[in-house]
Amino acid sequence: MESSVATETTTAAVGPATRIPWYLWCSALAVTSAYLGGYWDIAWHRSIGRDTFWSAPHMAIYACGVLAGLSSAYLILSTTFLRASAFRDVSVRIWGLSGPLGSFILAWGGLMMLASAPFDNWWHNAYGLDVRIISPPHMVLAAGFFGIEAGTILLALAFMNRASGSARIALRRLFLYVAGVAVCESFLVKLEYISRSDMHSALFYIVAFIGTPALLTAIATASHYRWTCTAVTGIYTAYGLALLWILPLVPAEPKLGPVYRQVTHLIPWEFPLLLVVPAFVADLIFQRTATWWPIVRALVIGVAFFGVFIAVQWPFADFLMSPQARNWAFGTNYFDYNMPLWSPYANFQFIPVEATGGQFWRRMLLAGVTVWAMMWLGLRAGRAMERVRR
């Protein structure tokens, strides 16, 4: 009986064949708008500076909150007040309102994003212009980002878990796409700690491994797709390369001082990390360890992911510091307009983050433990996600 109800609900909600309902597309567009707006805003700060709250990147960022609000409001209000709603049997009830769990998280994320707008504007008026990503209003904004991403993932997950056949395949594609954008977004928050000058430090690997392996393993477990990690990190890589190559085509010039470099176009962020390589190896191991204990499986996948990532990223960092990478393809010749000429980054030098060799190896051990813990948490979360229906 429960299976029959779920099938009928999916058919009514998703529509014929493989058509995905507009509110899922709207949520996915919200996630995309947040990431593109965030990346664009970073490029704007690197090449123009913070000239006005009403800049185009800011509008793209806050459009995410509006789009999330539209989709979540429709789902919650229609489920609550329409007796014929297809979601009544697959909803949760919060504060007298009904709707899919993901729609409530979407609504919360949208409210957080919109609340961060006046907070950010006040912060700059009170304390001046800043160039740091990690600040109180930006963290409120990031919380909204991740709320909308989590809500969209849960919403798509619930639809996917209730579907079958071609509808499930279409929903799984959307599910993997949103997860890929979530990986992109997670690295925007980490940018201040993962530049090429940091890539020979242990802290770089610790920061890179916070969150991302857990997300990859959770999505891989929940989706039942053989190449999940490769697909998700492939989306991250594709977006990173596209923005690296497209944004420099847009004219821009500094509006704030001091100006240490003459900039004539938008300055993108760096070449994406080579995550797709260890992700491919992780997928291969996933396919061969389905019956293993989660803690052992996480250890094996984590060690492989850690080792392969170091093996490819460490020498690639050397290449990025070389003259051969100073071109449009790898983008290491792009610098902020206010980047001092004496900066180690501007002089293609690695920053010695760890004071001693002992500190470096202790932190590398911590990085290994971090990736193992993230993999284990991801496996546990993925098992729970398999049961999501509401």
Taking the chain (390 residues) in runs of 10, the rounded mean pLDDT of each run is 40 52 90 90 85 78 84 85 74 79 82 71 60 64 79 88 86 93 90 91 94 94 94 96 96 83 91 97 94 93 96 97 95 90 90 91 95 94 86
CA distance 109 to 132: 22
Is the same domain home to 178 and 202?
A: no
pLDDT of residue 117: 66
Helix (H) or strand (E) holding 97: strand 97-99
Per residue in 354-387, pLDDT (tens digit) is 989 999 999 999 999 999 999 999 999 999 888 8
Helix orientation angle between 136-162 and 165-189, rounded to the nearest 10 degrees: 170
pLDDT of residue 135: 64
Quickly list H helices, 224-356.
Answer: 228-246, 276-288, 294-320
Answer with the one of 169, 189, 209 that is the final residue of a domain.
Answer: 189
Q: Which of 178, 109, 201, 103 is nearest to 147 (CA)?
A: 109
- Between the alpha carbon of residue 89 and those of residues 6, 76, 92, 290, the distances in Å are 8, 13, 9, 32
Is the same domain home to 238 and 212?
A: yes
Non-local (6+) Cβ contacts of 69 within 8 A are: 106, 107, 110, 111, 114
Is the same domain home to 324 and 342?
A: yes
Per residue in 57-108, pLDDT (tens digit) is 888 888 888 888 888 888 888 888 877 777 777 777 888 787 788 788 888 8
Answer with the one of 189, 211, 230 that is the final residue of a domain.
Answer: 189
Structural domain of 238: 193-390
pLDDT of residue 103: 83
19: amino acid identity, one letter: R
pLDDT of residue 123: 63
Answer with the one of 172, 189, 206 that is the final residue of a domain.
Answer: 189
Is the same domain home to 155 and 231?
A: no
Number of domains the chain contains: 2
pTM to 2 decimal places: 0.87
